[in-house]
């Protein structure tokens, strides 16, 4: 392939050539001759490589962004699942403990069963969806099994009038908080970190850097050619540079838009879904503690402290659309405590168990429903927004790769032109 030819030996330019294309620098000091065809081959290789590597890297970074958004949507869904498990479990406990105050009211049993079914179903779904959570979800399954068995023991003893039933129930609630709560907290923390991490998967800076490096490479190549030939601009390289510029601008703008959209989602709907799910869990925890304190009849100081802690957690996330029902609940709760502390346990119990608007269950149920709806709506927005436009992002990624190859062909053509002029 390589050809040794001195500039003096080079044939004169063909008559049809538009302009003299003789190398501007015919000789190099000390060497006496330059291997122009070899040089042109090397520059062609470098130029094509720059264009192809640009196309590959741009496409790869955009592909990672596309993949990351998909993962963020899945991670958000998983986060929603584990928070649903947490809220439903505490809701089930609130129902079980409240029912116990009136001798195991059967009318609340169906709702308790529904919540436990939700918990078990979501544990299975969550284990299928995220292998990294599978082991701890297995442990959670055991803890939920222990809890439901203890509640069943409590109920069956209570139905026979045996006081050991109350012991099974308070033991079940205590065990639930000791065993299941740390697992659920770890799951929520891990999946929040995953979802937030995945939402950071857009890299406009890297795309800009790759584009600038590629442009710098093509510019350098153009300068090399300009030094050796008498044409300042190589058309092929100029077209390749234009392609690189367009791809870079599209890629950077696209990634930047998605990055800011993800930031908005993370600080907006995702944060809202997380905080409202926490509030819902804490509210049901408070209701369970309210009932447990009444079951203990004066020796439930620990549950009163727990209630205050849960209430603080709820109040951190209160919104206008949930604040009213929560404040109504707190007012009835304070009345219940006043009655119980004043020796009117029966009246306090009645306020805690009635389904009428005057009791504590109704406003708590309203809060539970409202916060559940907020969580579902906000999580739905997050999932939808993360998935929307992903097809376009993938198409741009493929497009970048193809245009990179196209740019390489233009580089080849531009250098081929010089080769033809030279020969």
Partner 1 sequence: MKSVRLSRAMVGVMVAGGLFMSACGYDATVVPEAKAPATTSGSAIKPVECDNATQSYQPSNDAAAARRELLNPDRLVVGVSADTYQLGWANPFDDSRIQGFDIDVAKAVADALGVKLQLRVISAADRPTLLGAKTDGEAHEQEIDLVARNYTMNCTRWTQIGFSAVYYNATQKVLVRKDDVGDFEKRGVASLAGKDVCAPAGSTSIDNIKEIQPDVEAVPAANHTGCLVKFQQGEVDAITGDDTVLAGLAAQDPYAVVPDQQKLTDEPYGIGANKGDKDLIAFVNSVLEQRRSNGEWQKSYDKWLKPYLGNATAPAPTYGRR
Q: Using CB under 8 A, list all residues that contact partner 1.
A: 44-45, 48-49, 52-53, 56, 59-60, 63-64, 67, 101-104, 130-136, 139, 153, 157-168, 171, 178, 182-183, 186-187, 190-191, 194, 296-299, 343, 345-346, 349, 401, 405, 408, 412
C-beta of residue 413 within 8 angstroms of C-beta of residue 307: no
Q: How far is the CB of 153 from partner 1 (least distance, A)?
A: 8
C-beta of residue 76 within 8 angstroms of C-beta of residue 270: yes
What is the rounded CA–CA span in Å between residue 154 and residue 171? 9
Give the residue with the Cβ less far from partner 1, 14 or 138: 138
* Closest to 210 measured CA to CA, from 244, 255, 254, 260: 244
Q: How far is the CB of 327 from partner 1 (least distance, A)?
A: 29
What is the rounded CA–CA span in Å between residue 387 and residue 255? 14
Q: How far is the CB of 178 from partner 1 (least distance, A)?
A: 7
Give the residue with the Cβ less far from partner 1, 52 or 282: 52
Burial string for 89-115 (b: 16+ CB within 10 Å, else e) reads bbbbbbbbbbbbbeebeeebeeebeeb
C-beta of residue 381 within 8 angstroms of C-beta of residue 32: no
Give the residue with the Cβ less far from partner 1, 91 or 349: 349
Q: How far is the CB of 132 from partner 1 (least distance, A)?
A: 4
Q: How far is the CB of 340 from partner 1 (least distance, A)?
A: 10
What is the rounded CA–CA span in Å between residue 363 and residue 371? 12
Q: How far is the CB of 1 from partner 1 (least distance, A)?
A: 10
- DSSP structure class, residue 104: -
C-beta of residue 68 within 8 angstroms of C-beta of residue 258: no
Give the residue with the Cβ less far from partner 1, 187 or 311: 187
Q: How far is the CB of 311 from partner 1 (least distance, A)?
A: 24
Give the residue with the Cβ less far from partner 1, 256 or 345: 345
Give the residue with the Cβ less far from partner 1, 182 or 268: 182
Helix then strand then coil, % of the chain, to nearest 5: 85, 0, 15
Burial of 64: CB neighbours in 10 Å, binned 0-12, 13-18, 19+: middle
Angle at 63 between CA 58 and CA 65, to 5 degrees: 100
Burial of 420: CB neighbours in 10 Å, binned 0-12, 13-18, 19+: exposed
Give the residue with the Cβ less far from partner 1, 14 or 343: 343
What is the rounded CA–CA span in Å between residue 67 and residue 394? 9
Tally of CB atoms within 10 A around 235: 12
What is the rounded CA–CA span in Å between residue 291 and residue 288? 5
C-beta of residue 187 within 8 angstroms of C-beta of residue 82: yes
Give the residue with the Cβ less far from partner 1, 63 or 256: 63
Give the residue with the Cβ less far from partner 1, 146 or 315: 146
Q: Which two structure tokens, joined as six digits, stand for 363?
A: 């406003």
Q: How far is the CB of 66 from partner 1 (least distance, A)?
A: 10
Q: How far is the CB of 320 from partner 1 (least distance, A)?
A: 35
Q: How far is the CB of 193 from partner 1 (least distance, A)?
A: 9
Q: Which two structure tokens, joined as six digits, stand for 400?
A: 């970048």
Give the residue with the Cβ less far from partner 1, 88 or 192: 192
Q: How far is the CB of 94 from partner 1 (least distance, A)?
A: 18
Give the residue with the Cβ less far from partner 1, 62 or 317: 62
User: Is residue 31 classed as helix, strand or coil in its secondary structure?
Assistant: coil
């Amino acid at each position: 392939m390589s050809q040794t030819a001195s500039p003096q030996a080079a044939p004169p330019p063909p008559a049809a050539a538009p302009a003299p294309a003789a190398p501007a620098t015919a000789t190099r000091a000390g060497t006496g001759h330059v291997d122009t065809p070899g040089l042109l081959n090397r520059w062609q290789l470098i130029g094509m490589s720059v264009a192809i590597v640009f196309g590959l890297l741009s496409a790869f970074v955009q592909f990672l962004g596309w993949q990351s958004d998909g993962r963020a949507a899945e991670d958000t869904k998983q986060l929603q699942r584990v928070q649903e498990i947490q809220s439903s479990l505490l809701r089930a406990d609130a129902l079980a403990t409240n029912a116990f105050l009136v001798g195991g009211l059967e009318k609340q049993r169906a709702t308790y069963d529904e919540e436990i079914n939700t918990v078990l179903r979501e544990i299975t779904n969550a284990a299928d969806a995220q292998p990294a959570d599978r082991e701890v979800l297995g442990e959670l399954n055991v803890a939920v099994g222990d809890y439901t068995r203890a509640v069943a023991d409590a109920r069956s003893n209570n139905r026979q009038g045996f006081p050991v039933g109350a012991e099974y129930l308070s033991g079940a609630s205590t065990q639930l908080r000791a065993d299941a709560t740390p697992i659920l907290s770890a799951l929520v923390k891990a999946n929040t970190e995953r979802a937030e991490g995945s939402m950071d998967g857009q890299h406009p800076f890297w795309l800009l850097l790759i584009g600038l490096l590629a442009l710098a490479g093509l510019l350098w190549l153009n300068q090399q050619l300009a030094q050796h030939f008498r044409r300042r601009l190589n058309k092929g390289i100029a077209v390749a540079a234009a392609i690189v510029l367009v791809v870079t601008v599209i890629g950077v703008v696209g990634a930047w838009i998605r990055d800011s959209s993800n930031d908005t989602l993370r600080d907006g709907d995702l944060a809202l879904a997380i905080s409202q799910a926490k509030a819902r869990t804490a509210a049901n925890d408070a209701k369970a503690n309210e009932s447990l304190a009444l079951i203990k009849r004066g020796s439930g100081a620990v549950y009163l402290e727990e209630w205050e802690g849960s209430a603080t957690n709820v109040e951190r996330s209160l919104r206008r659309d949930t604040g009213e029902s929560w404040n109504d609940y707190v007012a009835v709760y304070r009345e219940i405590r006043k009655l119980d502390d004043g020796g009117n346990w029966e009246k306090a119990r009645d306020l805690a168990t009635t389904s009428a608007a005057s009791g504590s269950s109704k406003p708590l149920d309203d809060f539970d429903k409202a916060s559940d709806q907020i969580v579902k709506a906000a999580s739905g927005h997050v999932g939808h927004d993360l998935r929307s436009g992903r097809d376009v992002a993938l198409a741009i990624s493929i497009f970048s790769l193809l245009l990179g190859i196209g740019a390489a062909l233009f580089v080849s053509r531009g250098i081929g032109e010089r080769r033809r002029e030279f020969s």
